[in-house]
Structure 1
Amino acid sequence: MSVYSKYADYVLLNLLKEDNQLAYTEIFERYSRILVNHAYKILGDQDEANDVVQEVLLSIWNKRHDLVITGSLSSYLYKATKNKILNHIAHEKVVSRYAESFSNFIESDYVFADSKLREKELEAIIEKEISQLPEKMREVFLLRKVEELSYDEIAQQLNITDKTAKQQVYNSLKILREKLKSMMNVFVW
């Protein structure tokens, strides 16, 4: 048992602001499991719940120097998790509406002659961007998103932790999202 486990949350937060990684690890250990359970109850998907909590906890590390928490750390983390879940659900609804709209468009026989060409171009761009990811990140990303392996299966196969696998997928999605964001406007009718 670490000496950090005896520290109150506010002490851990002060240490976190001083770049103390062990304080961050203690916060992660203290809250990750309960936050994942909370997220799972809402999302109903273990991997999505893990992803949401991973993003929330990673954000407190990334924002540690500017982090201002007026109430308790647990309240802050619950609220941040809830907000991240709501954003996730909203994003899923937008994607679903877009897919439905696109499907309706195609079903109503307004198919452009070049839609297949655009689809192929977009696939090529996405494949190119994936190929430019760092090797390990690309490997984890493809195992997760193409092979559809769980984080545990990826961790076992590559001899890494499931946290590392999750982080690699999160980082690759962030990179791809940024690179593809500007290109997507070209493919919208």
Structure 2
Amino acid sequence: MLLTETFDEQYWIIAFRKGNDHALSHFFELHYRSLCYFAGRLLQDDMEAEEVVSDCFYKLWERHQDFETAQNIKAFLYISCRNACLNHLKKTKRKTAIQQEYIKHLEEGEETIFYEVIETEILTILSQEIEGLPDKCREVFKLIYLENRKTDEIAAMLGLSVQTVRNHKTRAIELLKTSFLKKGVSAAMTLAFLLFIDR
């Protein structure tokens, strides 16, 4: 972690512990979208997910003096969110097979939460970065990795040669990796991205 990032983190955590509402806004902006995605995958209802996440931030704020580090805040939010989602689903009699499987994984404990957080964050960052790619690179990347289309199929769809499609794919991956490095994305999240594109 860079010195300036360490200073920023210390500034925000001190302000948060003092009850500064700007610090609450800082952590809200940092984690809200990822938490909504995390809760939404389990609850399969965006409005319910937003309510759960908002309640988690309310609980966080009630205990603002208890947190020593930004990592403590992040862990509290994700664990609170997981527990709230599990409690909600236990009260709901109708659950899909996907939800049942997700509940099983989440009930396995903290290690599962760690991997869920990495996956959630990598997908959130990835979706933002994909939109910043040049038009053809973005189109090819989405068709390959989000729609599972084959290279020759994409070439026929877009009226391009197979080699051109491969070139756009390679360029998209390089641009995304470069962007991740510039943003200081963690080694674990970069590994998750590399596994994603290597599947």
TM > 0.5:
no
TM-score tier, shorter chain, comes to: 0.3 to 0.5
TM-score normalized by the length of structure 2 = 0.39
